Structure 1
Amino acid sequence: MPRFSGFRAVRYAAEPYDTDPYELLIAPPYDVLSEAQAAGYRERHPHNITHLDLPVGPDRYTRAGELYRRWLADGVLVADEVPTLTIYRLRFRDATGSLRSIAGVVGGLEVVDEGTAPDSKGGVLPHERTTPKASTDRLDLTRATQANLSPVWGLSLSSGLTELLVEPAEPIAAVHDHDEFPDGVEHVIERITDPERIAAIAAIIAADDVLIADGHHRYGVARTYRDEVRSRTGRRDTAAEATLAFVSELVEDQLSVAAIHRLYRGVDLDQLRTALARCFELVPIGRPDQDTLSRMEADGFLTLITPDGAYALTPRPGAFDGMRRLDGLWLEHTFADVDAEVSYQHGVDEVLSAVESGAAAAGILIRPVSVAEIERTAREGLLMPPKSTFFTPKLKTGFVIRDLTD
């Protein structure tokens, strides 16, 4: 089972920011920000985390590393005096209007080797196949800063973690933002210094597998970086043996899982329709909107969007017998013989825009994966198709940094 441990977390110093709240210093994760959005966060404050996490220009990684060390030397960032864990609470209303509260803990999660069976990964399991990424951006940044800036999101399959996080700890920050939901999300950060409580939390997480919900690429980068450190130092006891991770319990009432829809390019629309007709009944419907997603879940259909209209895709009897109830898997089966470029998009409006503008030949709206299916897939050591789940809300970057120097 995976080791989970406290560490001397690096945080923004409290004193200089009495009048500059955390809202000016933190940012959404690097992989959800456009260039324009990232630039906007850099303009918020000269110490905003995007100056480190999304550097720009020539020698940007070298400069990010130099800036990180300067902030440490100048006291902009300070390390906790003792190893700590950090409780991270998120409170929000989801797309259905239901009030949700997620409680997780930020610490150092063991970096284990990649494998195909659960016992070969040391208890840290991917839950979906990942798409190849040619960019070495995160690896180059990690090498230059020698720090983990953005946490992986892990789901603990062990019961009892939520209960251990009920008691409040030392308040660090409380930020309310409107990045993802109309009513906003409250991000509450608390520091745990009690060694006994830290040990109890670590023991609960180590008692069962941890499923990577978000951050597969970051975890893979941590593995590469760990191997580089091992090769360079000959040691297996450095900070690189773990990576920054937020771990919450896999319980349905805490998780908000959205779908990631499909866009298809480089394919003839008639060929796409013919393939779909073998597995689905196509029924014309009106222009999709947010209410369409609710009807899809209630009535059991997917939605095809084309330049000439939208269609409800209802599975034909027997078309997917023996297959898991995953829309992404059904579409992979349906288009097994179709040569098309597939990309992924979160929002209904964005899918409509891509199709109507001609940027995509067609789009298909799919339904979110259930928490029960996520756990079943993990327990059976299986992988979902790429981009099967989109966990919300997103964790902010900048509340906790994990230094990798020894």
Structure 2
Amino acid sequence: MPRFLPFAALRYAAVDHLARLIAPPYDVLSDADLDHYLASDEHNITHVDVPRGGEGRYQIAAETLADWRGAGVLVTDERPSFTLYRLAFTDETGEAREIVGVLGGLEVVDVDAGGVLPHERTTPKASTDRLDLTRATQANLSPIWGLSLAPGLAALLAEPGEPVGEVVEGGVTHRVERVSDPERIAAISAAIGTDDVLIADGHHRYGISRTYRDEVRGATGRTDTPAEETLAFVSELVADQLSVAAIHRLYDRMYAEFSHTFHLTEMGRPTPETLAAMQNEGFLVLYTRDRTYRLDPIPGAFHEIRSLDGAWLEHTLGDVPVTYQHGLAETIAAVDDGRAEAAVLIRPVSVAEIERTAREGLLMPPKSTFFTPKLKTGFVVRPL
């Protein structure tokens, strides 16, 4: 089972101005978003986490981080701590939710070693951006999101810690609290260490942490450096907290193969109410610029296929080119604008199915889940 350890965190000193200093994770920022956050404050975390420029941008990011530490913009906790991170929001159905997790150092394990598990197959990324940035800054900047299968973790995190910041943005309240009591730290660490942790978001970052760890081991001959763990937000895999959205599929043409496994019934243009009906009645939706079809599985067509919409589509279409888009309006727009010929709207994967797949040691198709809201970058930086 994985180690989960406290560390002496780097935090912004100006806690009253955190809204200007933190940002969404690098991989969801458009160019316009990045312009906004870079301009919001000269010390916004994006100046380090998403550096612009040529080949020297990573070294500039490292120098910027060092300058901030020297000037007291970022200060180091006096002793190792965990950071409770609470996200309060209203989900797509109008239900109020609060996710509570803990930021700490999650063990970096080898592929197939167990303890920290992927929950879906990942699409390859050729970019070395995160690795180059980690090498230069010697810091973990953006946390991965891990889902602990350990029962009772959420209850263990319910008690507040020492408040160290709060930001409200996009209808989500992000609140962070420091936990430095040794007994509570030990209890949290022990609880997470009793069962597997699934990577919900940040598979690429976790893989980069493994490469960086191996480089440090090769350079130092040691296996006790901070590179043995990586910054992670770990929350319990419980349905009443998590909000899992679907990631819809875009295709470059309309495929006749849909009729091999689905009954196609023409219907009206999809609306938010359609998404609710899909979950209640068990159908998918095929959208083109000319027509919309309800896709009802033909009885027996998926007899030996796992009951996942993504798996059904892979079985139906094989390895045809596909791209991914979350959000109903954004998916429909991609077809209407001619960026795709057809879209298939799928249903969110249930928390029970996520756990069942993990317990059986299986992987879901790529882009099966989209966990919301997204964690902010900048509340905590973990030095390496």
- Same fold flag (TM > 0.5): yes
Q: Out of 102, 107, 111, which is 1:105 matched to?
A: 102
For 1:49, the aligned partner's letter is: I
2:70 pairs with 1:49: no
Structure 2 equivalent of residue 353 of structure 1: 333
- The superposition leaves residues 371-392 of structure 1 with CA deviations (integer Å, 9 ceiling, x where unpaired) of 0000000001100000000000
- The superposition leaves residues 136-183 of structure 1 with CA deviations (integer Å, 9 ceiling, x where unpaired) of 1111111111100000100110111111111111000111111xxxxx
RMSD: 0.9
Tell me the distance in 2 between the aligned counterparts of 1:395 and 1:28.
7
- The superposition leaves residues 100-132 of structure 1 with CA deviations (integer Å, 9 ceiling, x where unpaired) of 1111000000000002xxxx22x1010000001
Moved over 4 A (4+): none
Structure 2 equivalent of residue 316 of structure 1: 298
2:346 pairs with 1:366: yes
Tell me the distance in 2 between the aligned counterparts of 1:356 and 1:166.
45
Instruction: Return the offset for 1:322.
Output: 2.3
Structure 2 equivalent of residue 22 of structure 1: 18
Tell me the distance in 1 between the aligned counterparts of 2:188 and 2:287.
46
Structure 2 equivalent of residue 389 of structure 1: 369
Select between 356-365 and 128-137 the one with higher mean Cα deviation. 356-365
Instruction: Return the offset for 1:62.
Output: 1.1
Q: Secondary structure at the match of 1:244?
A: strand
Instruction: Return the offset for 1:229.
Output: 0.7
For 1:262, the aligned partner's letter is: R
Instruction: Return the offset for 1:340.
Output: 3.0
Tell me the distance in 1 between the aligned counterparts of 2:340 and 2:312.
20
Structure 1 equivalent of residue 275 of structure 2: 293
Paired residues in the alignment total 383
Q: TM-score of the superposition, structure 2-length normalised?
A: 0.98
For 2:202, the aligned partner's letter is: G
Map 1:186-197; keep pairs closer than 5 Å: 186-197=173-184
Q: Secondary structure at the match of 2:64?
A: helix
Instruction: Return the offset for 1:356.
Output: 1.4
Structure 2 equivalent of residue 91 of structure 1: 88
Structure 2 equivalent of residue 248 of structure 1: 235
Q: Out of 217, 239, 242, which is 2:226 matched to?
A: 239
Tell me the distance in 2 between the aligned counterparts of 1:146 and 1:61.
11
For 1:203, the aligned partner's letter is: A
Structure 1 equivalent of residue 311 of structure 2: 329
Tell me the distance in 2 between the aligned counterparts of 1:160 and 1:350.
37
- The superposition leaves residues 269-322 of structure 1 with CA deviations (integer Å, 9 ceiling, x where unpaired) of 2xx0x2000000111111112221111111111010112111111100001112
Percent identity over paired residues: 65
Tell me the distance in 2 between the aligned counterparts of 1:68 and 1:53.
10
Q: Secondary structure at the match of 2:59?
A: helix
Tell me the distance in 1 between the aligned counterparts of 2:46 and 2:344.
33
Tell me the distance in 2 between the aligned counterparts of 1:293 and 1:61.
43
Structure 2 equivalent of residue 75 of structure 1: 72
Tell me the distance in 2 between the aligned counterparts of 1:262 and 1:62.
38
Identify unmatched segments of 5+ residues in structure 2.
none
Tell me the distance in 1 between the aligned counterparts of 2:195 and 2:323.
34
Q: TM-score of the superposition, structure 1-length normalised?
A: 0.93
Q: Out of 172, 190, 194, which is 2:164 matched to?
A: 172
Q: Secondary structure at the match of 2:257?
A: helix
Map 1:211-230; keep pairs closer than 5 Å: 211-230=198-217
- The superposition leaves residues 188-231 of structure 1 with CA deviations (integer Å, 9 ceiling, x where unpaired) of 10000101100000000000110111111110010011011111
Instruction: Return the offset for 1:235.
Output: 0.8
Tell me the distance in 2 between the aligned counterparts of 1:322 and 1:100.
35
2:195 pairs with 1:208: yes
- The superposition leaves residues 340-390 of structure 1 with CA deviations (integer Å, 9 ceiling, x where unpaired) of 321100011111111112111111110000000000000011000000000
For 2:189, the aligned partner's letter is: A
Tell me the distance in 2 between the aligned counterparts of 1:356 and 1:167.
48
For 2:97, the aligned partner's letter is: R
Tell me the distance in 2 between the aligned counterparts of 1:358 and 1:103.
41
